[in-house]
Amino acid sequence: MPELPEVETARAAIEDAALHRRIVDVDDSDEYVCRPHAPGQIRDALVGREFTAAHRRGKAMWVDTSGDEPGVDGPSLGLHLGMAGRIMISGADGGQVSGGDPPAGRYGIDADAPGRKPEWDRFTVTFEDGGVLRLFDKRRLGRVRLDPDLDSLGPDAEQIGVEEFADRVGRGTAPVKARLLDQATLAGVGNLLADETLWQARLDPRREAGSLSRKELRTLHDALGAATRSAIDKGGVHTGEFIASRKKAGVCPRCGAPLERATVGSRTTWFCPREQV
């Protein structure tokens, strides 16, 4: 599914192309994607307003809206990309900005390919200038909701400081990869970003989190920051140096050792048995 870097590209697209445009219509008719809201409820809340700011914590994204009075905000709109969602925003001139799952789609369908089904646009916002924001999601696993609850999420994986990271991640008997994937511990790390980060840090994903030294935790924090920034800059976690090697007969990009596969935190995990200790 889209991880923190992909969600950040979607957030940045909204910030770049969707703010301060008056909303004149909303299609929230997909009752599954927009649950628990009834059709028309999100539309009624948004029409006549403008998006004013786009935010993200981990994989969660939400947009502020203008209020009915100066200095008073309207409802926030939560947007979750699910497994393969992409935010597409068109301008009044027909130009388009987008972000989220890679453009070609992890499931083989380009968001703008000829012949794609109209219903794959699960939620749309139409602006007064004629442009549209849409959530393209073939798999229908995205979510749209008003005033999303973020209380269950830990601090953002891109923003967390090294000391808080060490305190939250470096404890307990769970494998360190499972700690990285726990969204209540740290928000935003998915399976690919975890494998890339642990490979960069040269740490075995099966190590008990509480066994890591403070030095190892600082190294892990720095590796996570570097892997996240690189993935954002390059367009997604699939661009990581280690990711292409995560397959049968794959070898470590640094030392050439055959990679090993394991299940950690219920997720398929690849690592270098020679370097990751």
Question: Under a CB-based contact definition with an 8 Å cutoff, are residues 56 and 3 in contact?
Answer: no
Least confident of 81-85, 113-117, 165-169: 113-117
Give the model confidence (pLDDT) of 56-67 as tens digits.
999 999 999 999
At residue 1, the pLDDT reads 61
Indicate the pLDDT class of residue 47, thresholds 50, 70 and 90. Answer: very high
pTM score of the predicted model: 0.91
Check if the beta carbon of residue 138 is closer than 8 Å to that of residue 120: yes
The pLDDT tens digits of the residues spanning 200-221 come to 999 999 999 999 999 999 999 9
Measured CA to CA in angstroms, residue 92 lies from 127, 151, 160, 185 at distances of: 9, 37, 38, 42
- The rounded Cα 48 to chain-centroid distance in angstroms is 28
Cα 199–200–204 angle (5° rounding)? 35
pLDDT digits (tens, 9 = 90+) for 80-101: 999 899 999 999 888 899 999 8
DSSP calls for 145-212: EES---TT---BTTT--HHHHHHHHS-SSSBHHHHHH-TTTSBS--HHHHHHHHHHHT--TTSBGGG-
Question: Given this model, what pLDDT does residue 93 score?
Answer: 86
For the chain, the straight-line distance linking the first and the last C-alpha, in angstroms and rounded, comes to 28
Strands across the sheet containing 51-57: 51-57, 60-65, 77-80, 143-146
DSSP per residue, 116-139: --GGGEEEEEEETTS-EEEEE-TT
Q: Tell me how far apart the alpha carbons of residues 212 and 49 are, in angstroms, rounded to a whole number.
A: 49
Amino acid of residue 39: P
Q: What percent of the chain has pLDDT over 70?
A: 95
Q: Provide the token pair at 218.
A: 């600082």
The pLDDT of 89-115, averaged and rounded, is 73
CA–CA distance, 48 with 33 (Å, rounded to integer):
22
Q: Are strands 77-80 and 60-65 parallel, antiparallel or unpaired?
A: antiparallel
